[in-house]
Chain A
Amino acid sequence: MHIPTLAPETLFYLFGVIPVTNTIINAWLAIIVFLIIGILISRRASLRPGKLQNFFEFILETLFGYFDQVTGDRKKTLRFLPLVGSVFFFILLSNWLGLLPGTGSIKLGHNFLLRPANTDLNLTVAMALTAVVASHVYGLVTVGIFTHLNKFIQIWPLIKSFKHGPIAIFTAIIEVGVGIIEIISEMAKVLSLSLRLFGNIFAGEVLMTVMSSLVAFAVPTPFMLLELLVGLIQASVFAMLTLVYLSVLTAEPHGTEEH
């Protein structure tokens, strides 16, 4: 039995310097699948949809229903769709690709050729960082630089508070503290997003490996079904949290109109 290690296995090096791991192969597989689907859809997209277009439109409409509940506005949903949609579909497909026969069985050299892409912390951190940074970029563009930065850095209210007495100074100091906590929480977002996805998918992979090693037939099937569900849930959680971060940071802060 080969229990997957935390770090993905390096299969070979591109140009002698860039390591290519089995999780990257899985990500490339996902890219190829998306490219094929994309070419098919973009070429055949019409007002009277075919089966493929109809299927994806159904998924998209279903997602819009959930996304609208978070954003409260279809326009906002469409604005965030490039990022949130990409996150959702990529996580979902790469998770499900890990359940295909060959993952954890086909070897290249001493290592397995395929491993679910999200069992690589590099990818989950990359996506989490992109999501959080993008939420700040959207926030900066939407509410303005000063309003956005004011959510985290409360220096100006602290300076102004010196004119208004000790209570105002005390409130301003608390606001500065809250700002620092906000900055820490932004960093925690990256950690929580990336580690949650990585932990769940990696645990699933370990579970699948153990179950498959114990009994090769039938017994792993319920766990595979469970992994299908976990893949969907994790994709949804990541996408919805990204959407929440985007919605929160693009919203006007309370009391802005008073200043």
Chain B
Amino acid sequence: MYFIDIAYAKAVAETTETIEETGLLASLGLDGRLFILQLINFAIVAIILWFLVLKPLVKKLAERQKLIDDGLNNAKKAQEQMDRSEIDYRAKILEAKKEAQTILEKTEKDAKTLSDNLKIKAKQEIENLAEQAKKNILKEKDEMMIGLKGETANLIVAALEKILSEKMTGEKDKKMIEEAVSGLGK
């Protein structure tokens, strides 16, 4: 430390002498030419740093930021579009369901109406058939009755001829037959 103190004291002494000789500014090393040279150096550094380092980096950072922002905006738009599509899809599905329900209800109603109509028609046809059958039966019955009457009359005539062949004359016989036939008609 002793040597340092000596050296420092020497330096201080030298500095003090210099101050006395050249003035404060010169002792601090301030010199007009050096100042201008250092100013130029700093200007060169500033120009190099700005145009070759900072500006390109800032530009790239800004471009990247823009890219990210655009990407985020696009993603947001896509999300919104997707949400809208989802809403549309749900609305369409709901509409389709309603439409399907309406169609089903209508179909069911139509089917019921058709069924009812068919039932009515079938019933009517059955009734018609039954009526027709009844008519046919009655007609056949009438025909049969007529036939039966004729047969019966013939049978009675034959039977009566046999029983009364001897006692009856031709006129009596005829009269009796007519009376019998007219009685049958009632």
For A49, A120, A130, A210, which residue has the most chain B Cβ atoms within 10 angstroms? Answer: A120
Contact B29 A86 (CB under 8 A): no
Known contacts A3-B7, A31-B41, A41 near B28 by CB under 8 Å: no
A121 to B31 alpha-carbon distance, docked (Å): 9
Contact of A18 among B33, B50, B61 (CB under 8 A): B33
Contact A5 B15 (CB under 8 A): yes
Contact of A78 among B8, B14, B58 (CB under 8 A): B58
Name the A residues within 8 Å of B59 (CB-CB). Answer: 45
Known contacts A60-B61, A121-B28, A85 near B48 by CB under 8 Å: no
Contact B42 A90 (CB under 8 A): yes
In the assembled complex, A83 has its CB within 8 A of some CB on chain B: yes
Q: Number of B residues whose C-beta is below 8 Å from A?
A: 40
Name the B residues within 8 Å of A82 (CB-CB). Answer: 46, 49-50, 54
In the assembled complex, B101 has its CB within 8 A of some CB on chain A: no
Name the B residues within 8 Å of A1 (CB-CB). Answer: 3-4, 7
Q: Closest CB-CB distance, A57 to chain B, in whole Å?
A: 6
- CB-contacts of A24-75 with B (<8 A): 24, 27-28, 30-31, 34-35, 37-39, 41-42, 45-47, 49, 53, 56-57, 60-61
A125 to B54 alpha-carbon distance, docked (Å): 24
A181 to B36 alpha-carbon distance, docked (Å): 29
Name the A residues within 8 Å of B37 (CB-CB). Answer: 18, 20, 24, 122
A1 to B31 alpha-carbon distance, docked (Å): 26
Known contacts A45-B56, A61-B61, A127 near B33 by CB under 8 Å: no
Name the B residues within 8 Å of A53 (CB-CB). Answer: 57, 60
Contact A42 B52 (CB under 8 A): yes
Q: Closest CB-CB distance, B31 to chain A, in whole Å?
A: 6
Contact B54 A120 (CB under 8 A): no
A5 to B13 alpha-carbon distance, docked (Å): 11
Q: Closest CB-CB distance, B63 to chain A, in whole Å?
A: 6
Contact A57 B57 (CB under 8 A): yes
In the assembled complex, B38 has its CB within 8 A of some CB on chain A: yes
Contact A60 B52 (CB under 8 A): no
Name the B residues within 8 Å of A19 (CB-CB). Answer: 31, 33-34
Main secondary structure of the interface of A (DSSP, over half): helix
Query: A88-103: contact bitstring with B at CB < 8 Å (1 yes, 0 no)?
Result: 0110000000000000
Name the A residues within 8 Å of B56 (CB-CB). Answer: 41-42, 45
- CB-contacts of B128-164 with A (<8 A): none
Contact B60 A125 (CB under 8 A): no
Using CB atoms, name the residue of chain A closest to B14: A5
Residues of B within 8 A of A (CB): 3-4, 7-8, 11, 14-15, 26-31, 33-35, 37-39, 41-42, 44-46, 48-54, 56-61, 63-64, 67
Residues of A within 8 A of B (CB): 1, 3, 5-8, 17-21, 23-24, 27-28, 30-31, 34-35, 37-39, 41-42, 45-47, 49, 53, 56-57, 60-61, 78, 81-83, 85-86, 89-90, 120-123, 125-127, 129-130, 210, 213-214
